[in-house]
Structure 1
Amino acid sequence: MSSDENTGVAVELLEAVHRDLAATALTLALPGSDDARLDIRSALAQLDDYILPRYRSLDAPLLAVVGGSTGAGKSTLVNGFVGHAVTRAGAIRPTTRQPILLHHPGDGRWFEDQRVLPSLARIRGTVTADPVPASQAGPTPDAAAITSLVLVAETAVPQGIALLDAPDVDSISADNRKLAGQLLAAADLWVFVTTANRYADAVPWRLLLDAASRDIMVAVVLDRVPPAAEAEVSADLQSMLNREGLGAARLFVVPEAPLDGMGMLPPAAVEPLRTWLQELAADAASRADIARRTLNGTVKALGGRVEAVAVAAGAQERAADVLAGDARDAYRDAVARILAATRDGALLRGEVLARWQDFVGTGEFFRAMEQNIGRFRDRLGAFFRGEPAPAVRVETAIETGLQAVILDEAANAAEDADARWRSDPAGRQLLGGDDLSGTSDGFADKAAAEIRAWQGSLMELIRTEGQGKRTQARWLSFGINGLGAALMIVVFSMTAGLTGLEVGVAGGTAIAGQRLLEAVFGEDAVRRLAQKAREDLHARCQSLLQDEQERFLSRLEFPGGVAPEVLSGHADALRRLAASA
């Protein structure tokens, strides 16, 4: 595969990583999620600002970012490098709060578009013929909203390399600190400026360790060093660099010296740094080697970040599964309790029992069934045809009792699910100030409508079963509502198998209902009817409560998202890409 083809494959991978990272939503409040979200933002920024631009333009000039702590003398060093004042403390017009990028006039095309640092607009700066003395430059404007990059063409900057004067890494302005980090992450090499009395500060070293993890070339400038302390301080700093894996960093010492009226260092103070950068710029092979080294180290570090995001995404997925499982368990248990209440005779008490006894009559009903089911059928058939209201009252009582059970258990499920979620930080975050511990608005009406629909389907079962010529006369003589009421009673007294009955319930009235149905349809048909009716009731209860649990589950439906294994695959591919180079 040719070099261009390799580059194309690498760019395709990096674009896929960018797309999938941007689609990764770590919504749940889990330990480590904040760090992972920061990893996503940092990775996306570095892909935009440095990795993708560098892969697409491997022959572009090197970008050397000059960074360091507050008061370290970065801008003074840059001015000294080019030989006159070009920073804001000198005489850039327009005066801006933006960072300044100095480049050779022949390299302007590489930086004038949005190839690197695409989030920053470009402003073309100029150097006045009559520089303003440092004492008259005035305070630096507030950097509350940095949106632009000032480009300054400068012949003193060698072609093949550009210098970017970054804000302080430890600025009191959060925006300044953020921008400093962004600019350093976009660099091919760092010129890191510190001072004799601040070189051990924690903030700069955190950034230097990040440079070590990326294998980026670093030049450390030790500024304002008293001549008497130069040997001791430089040796101590070099020892620290060696311990932290930065032993290859070039160390330049700038002696303490007075500035002239324009705020300029003596030319000799920055000559070693100037010479080194000019030599790098003049050697195309060295520039390419630096670019490849930094790029590969950055891609390797990106792989680690993507893997950390994959781990966080996996934790999010598992946490969401736990919360979903808690809600489903609560409502599944509620369905089981509803079905148990419809199976063990619990509904054949109170109003339902009274209406059923009104319907079937007193002891005469049972004596008639025991003595002669045929004669009983004739007498009862006339009763049904003349007075249908008692059967309807049984249906109404069953609807009322069953609705009460469903409402009670749905409320219990909601309370249980709400409590489980509130015991979990991620669940509390998703619930926020909403109280889901009760049933939803309109649930009682939905339950009543579903029960009536079940009763209607049960009547249709009886009609379908009675379509045969032999049974049609029988079920017509008893009446559809009467047989339906009897079937409901049988369904609500099933405790074992398909036809096992709790004989003691309501003085044997359930037995009477079953015998009545068997007299019309036969024993096997009654089993089949009861089983179908129970299955239909089960399905309707499940549907009702599944709709209710959606109040919880819908909060786990996050937009977009990428599977953790996809991100892990990207991480492996990035590590292979870095290793192959």
Structure 2
Amino acid sequence: MGADRDVEALVAAVERLRDEVDAASLPLLVPGRDEAVAARRQLLDQLDDYVLPRLRSLDAPLLAVVGGSTGAGKSTLVNSVVAAEVSRSGVLRPTTTSPVLVHHPDDAHWFEDARILPGLARVTGRDTGEDQPGTVRLAGSDALPSGLALLDAPDIDSVVTANRELAGQLLSAADLWLFVTTAARYADAVPWDLLRTAAERGTAVAIVLDRVPREAVAEIRPHLASMLREQGLPTAPIFTIPEVELEDGRLPSFVFDRLRDWLQALAGDARARDIVVSQTLRGAVDSLAGRAAQLVAASRVQRDAQDALVAASQECFALARGRVSDGMTDGTLLRGEVLARWQEFVGTGEFFRQVESTVARWRDRITSAIKGTPAPADTLGEALQSGVAALVLANLETATADTVRAWRRLSGGTAVLAAEPGLTSVPATSTASVERMVRAWQGEVFDLVRTEGQGRRTNARIAAYGVNAIGLFLMLVAFAQTGGLVGAEVGIAGGTAVLAQRVLEAIFGDQAVRQMAAKARARLLELVDELYAVERTRFEAALAAQSAPADQAERVEAATARLRSVPR
């Protein structure tokens, strides 16, 4: 593969990685999330501000970003090199709030569009002293040779957070870091954190040691060189500027002649320039895989947190469904109101003491009770409906409360709940859904009775009681187990179940009754499953709205693997 084709393949691979990084999101508030968001932003900025622009325009001018701590003299140095006041300087801090990019007039076309730093608008003309956030001011200067541009950046340790962040972004857009420090501050921690990053990424660095007392040069310069070697920057040149009086706000030319000559040599020597550009570009490209791996790891933390939240809601609703199932068979639904309405249905409480052991007499007694009192069938049905609805709704409310508690204990859950406050309670629409579900189930039970009673003889027996009454008997049998009842309730409920079952067996046969009761119970649980699934979806939808795509980590990994496979 030829060199041009290699570059094209590299550009395509970096573009794909850039697209995946841009598409990636880290919305859940999990531990380490803020750091990962910042790292992703920095990676995306460097891809947009430097790596892709430089790969697409290898012959563009070398960009040297002048960075450093507050008061180091960056703007004064830039103004002195170009022999004009292009960047604001002074005692008030911060002075440089908007970056200034100085270039030879012939190179203006390289910087006027969004080739580099696409997130910053371009402004031109003299500095009016007004802050213009989100801009980079372009200044042409014949004092700079063609092929070289200087970018005066805000302070890396500015008291203004936005300035610090912009300074870091601009340094990542540089072919060369021109780091300005002073004799008093060259050992400060903040610049060395950035210099270590430069060493790790193979960025070309030059150091300007400013305001050095002449008597201290022999001591400070070797110490600084030793520190640079220890931090992996043994070849970084050091330019020493002694402490001198400024002339019209600028340095005398003799104190920075060596720096100016070096910069001009870089611009005029294509080979030297290519070495600097290649070093920084190769280091930036080589760093992409490791930095993307951090995004992959953060994406997996997000997905694990999302999975844990989903699992918690599923468990809470599954437990609620289990309680509904238990409540259908432990006698819970045969207590209180249902028992009272059943006694009204068959006559009085004396009925159970008077009833005889033959099915015919039970059937005759119930038949006569029904004929004499048609209304109790409705009240028994309403009692059963209310009992089932109360059981389903109570456990729905418990599942909701348990999910909320679980999410508040898990990473990311509190923020999702805060964004969707309606999740913390069961909405009125859900209460209505429970009631509709129970009515629908009762209707299906009645249909089951009709379906099973297709024979003429069976139809006649059903007619003696009515489809609704037989359906109510079937519901009672479906809720017949009495493990949860105590004392007198056991006898009453047990009698209820036995009486209803004997009547049904006389009509349909014992095997058919067991199958019908099982079908009724199973169908109710199916409807509960559907209802609870819809209710659980409220939580999962709110979570999905604040979650990264499930395959995000794999997509970034695939783009990284493709980048690694490209020769360079």
TM exceeds 0.5? yes
**Alignment counterpart, residue 561 of structure 1, candidates 531, 548, 567:** 548
**Contact 2:104-2:149 at 8 Å conserved across structures:** yes
Q: Which residue of 1 aligns with 2:495?
A: 508
1:253 equivalent to 2:252? Answer: no
Shift, 1:209, TM fit: 1.3
Shift in CA distance, 459/107, structure 1 to aligned 2, threshold 3 Å: same
**Contact 2:121-2:136 at 8 Å conserved across structures:** yes
**Alignment counterpart, residue 537 of structure 2, candidates 540, 550, 556:** 550
> How far does the alpha carbon of each residue in 1:141-174 deviate from its partner, in whole angstroms, 9 at most, with x for none?
464x423222222222222221112222222333
Shift in CA distance, 526/7, structure 1 to aligned 2, threshold 3 Å: farther
Q: Which residue of 1 aligns with 2:230?
A: 243
Counterpart-to-counterpart distance in 2, 1:372 and 1:553: 52
> What is the aligned-residue identity percentage?
46
> How far does the alpha carbon of each residue in 1:181-212 deviate from its partner, in whole angstroms, 9 at most, with x for none?
22111101111111112111112112211211
Q: Secondary structure at the match of 1:392?
A: helix
1:15 equivalent to 2:18? Answer: no
1:172 equivalent to 2:159? Answer: yes
Corresponding letter in the other structure for 1:472: N
**Alignment counterpart, residue 473 of structure 1, candidates 460, 466, 487:** 460
**Contact 1:414-1:437 at 8 Å conserved across structures:** yes
Shift, 1:402, TM fit: 1.8
Counterpart-to-counterpart distance in 1, 2:490 and 2:122: 89
> How far does the alpha carbon of each residue in 1:250-281 deviate from its partner, in whole angstroms, 9 at most, with x for none?
11112223322x23323222222222222222
**Alignment counterpart, residue 154 of structure 1, candidates 116, 131, 141:** 141
1:415 equivalent to 2:401? Answer: yes
1:570 equivalent to 2:559? Answer: yes
**Contact 2:67-2:178 at 8 Å conserved across structures:** yes
Counterpart-to-counterpart distance in 2, 1:191 and 1:280: 13
1:201 equivalent to 2:188? Answer: yes
Shift in CA distance, 302/377, structure 1 to aligned 2, threshold 3 Å: same
Corresponding letter in the other structure for 1:398: L
Point out the more displaced range, 165-174 or 313-322: 165-174
Counterpart-to-counterpart distance in 1, 2:507 and 2:523: 22
Shift, 1:337, TM fit: 0.8
Q: Secondary structure at the match of 2:357?
A: helix
1:119 equivalent to 2:116? Answer: no
Counterpart-to-counterpart distance in 2, 1:404 and 1:335: 13
Shift in CA distance, 576/296, structure 1 to aligned 2, threshold 3 Å: farther
**Contact 1:378-1:477 at 8 Å conserved across structures:** no
Corresponding letter in the other structure for 2:236: A
Counterpart-to-counterpart distance in 1, 2:151 and 2:23: 32
Corresponding letter in the other structure for 1:274: R
Shift in CA distance, 284/494, structure 1 to aligned 2, threshold 3 Å: farther
Shift, 1:518, TM fit: 1.9
**Contact 2:302-2:547 at 8 Å conserved across structures:** no
Q: Secondary structure at the match of 2:399?
A: helix
Q: Which residue of 2 aligns with 1:129?
A: none
Shift, 1:505, TM fit: 5.6
Point out the more displaced range, 180-189 or 292-301: 292-301
Q: Which residue of 1 aligns with 2:251?
A: 265
Q: Secondary structure at the match of 1:223?
A: strand
Shift, 1:291, TM fit: 2.0
Shift, 1:526, TM fit: 1.7
**Alignment counterpart, residue 303 of structure 2, candidates 295, 317, 323:** 317
**Contact 1:299-1:575 at 8 Å conserved across structures:** no
**Contact 1:107-1:159 at 8 Å conserved across structures:** yes
Shift, 1:407, TM fit: 2.6
Matches within 5 A, 1:238-387: 238-260=225-247, 262-361=248-347, 370-371=357-358, 373=360, 377=363, 380-381=366-367, 384=370, 387=373
Counterpart-to-counterpart distance in 2, 1:26 and 1:87: 38
Q: Secondary structure at the match of 2:333?
A: coil
Counterpart-to-counterpart distance in 1, 2:407 and 2:85: 62
Q: Secondary structure at the match of 2:211?
A: strand
**Contact 2:20-2:559 at 8 Å conserved across structures:** no
- Unpaired runs of 5+ residues, structure 2, are 484-488
Counterpart-to-counterpart distance in 2, 1:296 and 1:184: 16
> How far does the alpha carbon of each residue in 1:512-560 deviate from its partner, in whole angstroms, 9 at most, with x for none?
2222222222223222211221111102222333333334333201267
**Contact 1:388-1:481 at 8 Å conserved across structures:** no
Matches within 5 A, 1:425-574: 426-432=412-418, 434=421, 436-494=423-481, 504=491, 506-558=493-545, 561-562=548-549, 563-574=552-563
Shift, 1:460, TM fit: 0.6
Counterpart-to-counterpart distance in 1, 2:366 and 2:96: 100
TM-score (norm 2): 0.89
Counterpart-to-counterpart distance in 2, 1:519 and 1:199: 100
Shift, 1:425, TM fit: 5.3
Shift, 1:238, TM fit: 0.3
Q: Which residue of 1 aligns with 2:486?
A: none
**Contact 1:395-1:485 at 8 Å conserved across structures:** yes
Point out the more displaced range, 60-69 or 101-110: 101-110
Matches within 5 A, 1:48-197: 48-88=48-88, 98-125=98-125, 141=129, 143=131, 145-197=132-184
**Contact 1:99-1:149 at 8 Å conserved across structures:** yes
Residues matched between the structures, number:
555
Q: Which residue of 2 aligns with 1:47?
A: 47
Shift in CA distance, 376/83, structure 1 to aligned 2, threshold 3 Å: closer
Shift, 1:225, TM fit: 1.9
Shift, 1:53, TM fit: 0.9
Shift, 1:379, TM fit: 6.7
Q: Secondary structure at the match of 2:239?
A: strand
**Contact 1:503-1:511 at 8 Å conserved across structures:** no
Shift, 1:369, TM fit: 7.0
Shift in CA distance, 369/391, structure 1 to aligned 2, threshold 3 Å: farther
Point out the more displaced range, 461-470 or 6-15: 6-15
Shift, 1:175, TM fit: 3.0
